[in-house]
Chains A and B, each alone.
Chain A
């Protein structure tokens, strides 16, 4: 019997997403699954640098290197998903998908599912195949990789095909490393509906559904509320999104009944354009998506119909992200409050700039006054210099970055010394120093990545 609807939900939109948020989605999917509708739950947990951090973990511990939040996010829904054949697809494999798959198998066995089928998608890791010089030659924007030796991770964004193959092989859980975020959704849709890998309009439609789901609740009322202007109710129990997808790729975006948040034209429009450059050409490994003809219609409370995506042939190259070590980042803050607080804050900045110019000439240093201008301001400080806002409760924030930790620490020591050697009433110093990873983008030939799928034996 041909399938006429697939339900697919998002359980996480980033590595640090909320444990337990997926449960209401899984419960709604279970109802659909019981009525015979194929159901899938995706977890997107891999930002640009997350994978490099995982690679560093794997260097320290050969059994680590997958998402630290894997168990916290998947455990609450695992039993329900395995019971009701809600198939899970997640990029929580990070730098070590095999280890993540073994962990998931152990979790399933503890729940009494001895033979859960778990697949691993790999081949995104380029570090064994491309030298730093090979990568530098393929860098797209700038020359950050030139002569660089300290590369931590180099991964291509794989597409949806190996995910669909894993599902065709019967996998109940598909663990990936780096794949394009929308491919986590396109893989199950292409598998369920049997879409051809050159049916560009359907691949585009499925990619659009993936794009709308990949950031979890950002389409269902998260990253949205502006009180009195555009409200979203009950955000404390924000519902994560579910797409009900038709064989032509058109879909209704919704969320679990009774959950908080909102799905309306405004939330969907904001997410359609999120992190988009040219709306006529959104590039993924699977297709080039053209959003310009997309039509939306509110079909009822928290139900928005999405149609009209168009597709063009997929790009010849794959995007890859290369991460490398990038020195130390130091940040320190101090508060000033009460009469003339802003003037005392400005004096503190003046003192620190002069002291640091003597201690470490040429060090790049940023200073903000939180409460006057900080988020909007430029790093050179011209917005802060021009600001006329006065506040009686401000926080001064300093930041620097340097290859040597000892140099970055000089700033931390000087900010702490403002307690005794700065303006009156300086309070509440907090400081931290963290190693930094930076990233660069490359375009690589498709045959340099080697996507493969294997079922865990």
Chain B
């Protein structure tokens, strides 16, 4: 069976849903643009987002196409193994709530570098934070752009390059004109659409089984080529170190993703920040449970001999499209069109959040606070942010073209690994450890960042598969298992050996920082 089964029957409904979404979001962008004058409006929507709205927006930012299409596809292909990813992506959230969210809101205004540089030397610390944020944003963006290009090509028969350029253009319009307000609403709308679409698929899958999950699993075991094995750990487990390293990256990387951290500055206070994590965790957890049902539904409805595609590996467009095929089976062409548009909206929303975070690292940290040393007008800073958005948009399109053949989930996994090895250690130590100094944060942070990048290149995925060497010097696909502890160790070491007068003053300043961080006084 070829791609003709999915396409072009889906064409018009997908195009109509897609145009509706784009029309609505552009209207919101226009509305937001009229209100976006100040830097506070541009970066954090005037800090007027409610906890519930922010919870939805965080969920919208986090439930990327990689997780919707990717996890259902992993479950479809391997059953249980997909659960390891779902769980890993979720457990980062409690950590964000317990250790990061409230303190972040109390100490910062626009970027997480505000928090890290609170009592440290602005120039070097912000330069480090901006550099490592940009690396994370670039990996993450690349993954999303590749997903967008592949999805558009499959659904609309659109040329890959054209699809990537279209995503880049739309995202530039949202972010450059509408700033955080437009980005937030794009994410909220997308989260609602995605949750509704995924709920419908899951319900439609469960209905014939009388909503008995056990019966669904029993049927899936019968339909899948690996039978009972799909309900137990399987393929991934041949490389336990890989799984452990990925687990570390997923768990701690979430607390180091600049676009996620930035969302906590859009609410009024620490109380709203904490509420937003609770809502977000609930939505995201619910969503991951749904992707699991969707994956098993795909095994039953697509994988068996009676399924429309015949065999379990015969999906045109690859495994990643399993959720879309399933949407068509349970809801017809109209529903497929809706889900396709939702999948696309998902990518747009995530890409917009990433771009805004990357742009603020450039304009707020590098331009306004490092280059201009705080002596710049608000207008100039917003203008710089808008220019940075345009630059990042062009870069995102180029990345989409460059990484065309890379695995989406791998790129996103790398973004998490880098975030867990650079941003996260520096951020958490700046909040909790009196002894942290500028030298420790900057040298140690850069060591973590460099180690994460170098070990990725030396690992099997790049060294062996891309560069064509025989064996990789570093055995793991993901670097976090070494680079994250190394970052903590380096930050500690270069802080404790720092005996400069500046370092003494920085340790002194911890008390005042802690009072503000714990009580919100002055925030």
Q: Do A and B bind each other?
A: no
- Seen from chain A, the residues whose Cβ lies within 8 Å of a Cβ on chain B are none
